[in-house]
Amino acid sequence: MPRKAEFISYKPKTILNKHKRADHWFWTSYTAYPYKGCQHGCQFCYCREQKFSPFDDPNDFAYTIHVKENAPQLLRKAIARAKTDLIFTGDYQPAEKKFELSRKMLEVCLERNFPVFILERSPLILRDLDLLTEINSKAVAATAFSIISMPDSVHYDRIRQMEHLAPSPEKRFAAMEKLALAGIQTGACMMPLLPELCDTDENLESIIKWTVDHGGSFVLASGLTLSDQQRTFFFNVLAERFPDLLPAYEKYYPSGKSYGAVDGNWRRRALKIRELCEKHGIKDRMPRPIISGDKRAKNKRIVEILADKVYVMELELAPKDRIWAYRKAAWAIEDMEQDIALFYRTMGLKGLQKIENMDQSLAREVESLLSGMN
């Protein structure tokens, strides 16, 4: 008999987590989630790792859902004091039908004109299309759908066994199309790409083509990570269901030695994804959502360009010191309170060179970017 979900309501003391600075994957500065545990129960999910999970038994992750019943009230208080910037929120697992905390948190964001980003596996997000559309008109609403395998993939049946509690990819793409038609930025996240299962050229191109055909503006990809109890749990899944894959995964993820795969396959796959995205006219990085009228809009756009360059340099095995130079320059510009265009008009090239971690060649590159934005 299938195990039924158990809901445990509680009142945490805080809900809003602030990053040191906006991350360079989803461009969020905050996170705020209404639940712990997830009924979608994807067996490859990193959230079973000890630092993310409240469960000693990883099997409880999909069936014991901790409900933060005061999440909307906590969020209202927190963002009233917070600097307006993109917040990673929402969780449309089946529990949301019962508790509607994601919707209530979106209502709070709308009250404060706070921009939101939501990463989903469920078309239930469309229930709140009215709120997302209104938030997008006043601030920014951006979305993405986690999709790692398509029905025409040779290993699709195996992937579906690992995410059998989640809605099908076809349903996710149908929801993506409706969000895109509503003018909301959306795309696909191939996260995580499982070695030997999701990383064939045919599967990658199929996801990219479906994303383009359903209005997505980007495809973002990353490899599988395994650590502590999640590694043990996932290896047990492989041993029970797909023992033929176990030797390869033991090689890719040696015990205690690696968080990500050690074989270099991810870099090769990322380069292929970039090539396929260029072929189909879509970005392989998420465009940064920026609120209209943001006084630091040019800062954020330059940071986006520099961060994208860091990503490409990493894939192309550029010298590490040069990669870090660009990364640190992006961080310094992100941390600036002043409009960098105004700063440049006042201080000129020499002023740009005085920004922390900015050498002469980077200052000239930023100067060129600013000139192109005028």
Between helices 129-138 and 101-111, what is the axis angle to 10°? 20
Q: What is the pLDDT of residue 39?
A: 97
Question: If we measure between CA atoms, which residue out of 92, 274, 282 comes closest to residue 187?
Answer: 282
Count Cβ atoms below 10 Å from residue 2 Cβ, excluding itself.
Answer: 6
CATH superfamily of 6-280: Aldolase class I (3.20.20.70)
Q: Is 350 exposed, middle or buried (0-12, 13-18, 19+ CB in 10 A)?
A: exposed
Intrachain domains 6-280 and 297-373 with the same fold: no
Q: Which of 182, 183, 266, 170 is nearest to 221 (CA)?
A: 266
Q: Where are the domains of the chain?
A: 6-280, 297-373
Number of Cβ atoms within 10 Å of the Cβ of 31 = 16
| 126 within 8 A of 94, measured Cβ to Cβ | no
Residue 256: band (very low, low, confident or very high) from pLDDT cuts 50, 70, 90:
low
Q: What is the pTM of this model?
A: 0.96
DSSP state of 318: -
Write 48-53 long-range contacts (CB < 8 A, 24+).
48/229, 48/230, 48/233, 49/227, 49/228, 49/229, 49/230, 50/227, 50/228, 50/229, 53/229
Summarize pLDDT for 198-227 with one digit per residue, the tens.
999 999 999 999 999 999 999 999 999 898
- pLDDT surpassing 70 at residue 263: no
Average pLDDT, the chain: 95
The predicted pLDDT at position 259 comes to: 64
Question: What would the pLDDT profile of 277-334 be if each residue is shown by its tens digit?
Answer: 999 999 999 999 999 999 999 999 999 999 999 999 999 999 999 999 999 999 999 9
Q: Is the pLDDT of residue 234 over 70?
A: yes
Q: What percent of the chain has pLDDT over 70?
A: 98
Compare 281 and 262 and report the one with higher pLDDT. Answer: 281
Distance CA(79)–CA(97), nearest Å, equals 25
Does the domain spanning 297-373 belong to CATH 1.10.3720.10? no
Q: Is residue 260 predicted with pLDDT exceeding 80?
A: no
Question: How much is the pLDDT for 265?
Answer: 79
pLDDT band with cut points at 50, 70 and 90 for residue 151: very high
- What pLDDT is attached to residue 62? 94
Give the tens place of pLDDT for each residue, 29-60.
Answer: 999 999 999 999 999 999 998 888 888 888 89
Q: Report whether 89 contacts 17 (CB < 8 A).
A: no
